[in-house]
Amino acid sequence: MYVKRSVVAGIGVVLALGVLVLIVRPHAAPGVQGLTVGGPFSLVDGAGKSVTDRDFRGKFMLMYFGYTHCPDVCPTTLAAMGAAMDRLPPAARARIVPVFITVDPERDTPSVVGAYARAFGPEFVGLTGSTAAIGTAEREYRVYAQKHVLEGGDYAMDHSSVIYVMGPDGSFVTVLDDQMAPGTMAQQLLKLGV
């Protein structure tokens, strides 16, 4: 039973990523020219302080949506982001804020998400919020997230897994593959002019 649900969830993630590729690369799909990625959000940081997208103006954001109970993809991706940050020259590093937004606000309280994000580097910001606020951020960034109930009553979160690069003005720049090597990620960021 679990395998069947995992397969269905996996297919859902693949389809969501396919739609995301069409959305973020409008030249490849003329029918989606009017769609945008990114937008306003109002969430809470690790200290319980309200944070909006406007608080990050003037810096590039490396945004990743995941959850702290994620067994593999999330910590691997965030570790790669942290290692990429370590490879950047100090001036470039100062122009980037890595932002982790939970898709599991039920378990990821401000203190939990804040400590989790900081474990990957001092620049990392962890954000959470109400289910409605997280839902708004997910819609703005075209994120797929779905609760997946496990045997025994616990649950996991199926979710899309890309790194969004947002410009200093808050506009969408590109997505980076979550499996990109840290050195390659650092090079890509430098090519983008960070």
Measured CA to CA in angstroms, residue 109 lies from 10, 29, 44, 68, 173 at distances of: 27, 38, 9, 10, 29
169-181 pLDDT, tens digit per residue, is 999 999 999 899 9
Return the axis-axis angle of helices 73-87 and 182-191, rounded to nearest 10°.
60
Residue 36: pLDDT band with limits 50, 70, 90: confident
Task: Tell me, yes or no, whether 28 lies in a domain.
Answer: no
Task: Tell me, yes or no, whether 26 lies in a domain.
Answer: no
The two three-digit tokens of residue 181, written as one number? 């090597």
Residue 63: pLDDT band with limits 50, 70, 90: very high
User: If you search the block for the tokens 């496990």, which residue do you land on?
Assistant: 150
Task: Tell me, yes or no, whether 33 lies in a domain.
Answer: no
Task: Tell me, yes or no, whether 187 lies in a domain.
Answer: yes
Measured CA to CA in angstroms, residue 146 lies from 13, 43, 65, 95 at distances of: 9, 19, 12, 33
Which amino acid, one-letter code, is at 74?
A: C
Residue 2: pLDDT band with limits 50, 70, 90: very low
* CATH number for the domain harbouring residue 70: 3.40.30.10
Task: Tell me, yes or no, whether 37 lies in a domain.
Answer: no
- Higher-pLDDT residue of 87, 32: 87
Task: Tell me, yes or no, whether 27 lies in a domain.
Answer: no
Cα–Cα distance measured from residue 34 to residue 15, given in angstroms and rounded to the nearest whole number: 20
- Higher-pLDDT residue of 37, 5: 37
> Rounded mean pLDDT of 38-65?
96
183 in Cβ contact with 87 (< 8 Å): yes
Total domain count for the chain?
1
Residue 34: pLDDT band with limits 50, 70, 90: low
90-142 pLDDT, tens digit per residue, is 999 999 999 999 999 999 999 999 999 999 999 999 999 999 999 999 999 99
Q: Give the residue among 21, 44, 17, 60 at the shortest CA–CA distance from 137.
A: 44
Q: Which domain holds residue 100?
A: 2-21+42-191
Which amino acid, one-letter code, is at 98?
A: P
pLDDT of 167 over the 50 cut: yes
Task: Tell me, yes or no, whether 79 lies in a domain.
Answer: yes
Q: What is the pLDDT of residue 25?
A: 39
Cα–Cα distance measured from residue 78 to residue 95, given in angstroms and rounded to the nearest whole number: 18
For the chain, give the mean pLDDT.
85
Residue 35: pLDDT band with limits 50, 70, 90: low
Task: Tell me, yes or no, whether 35 lies in a domain.
Answer: no
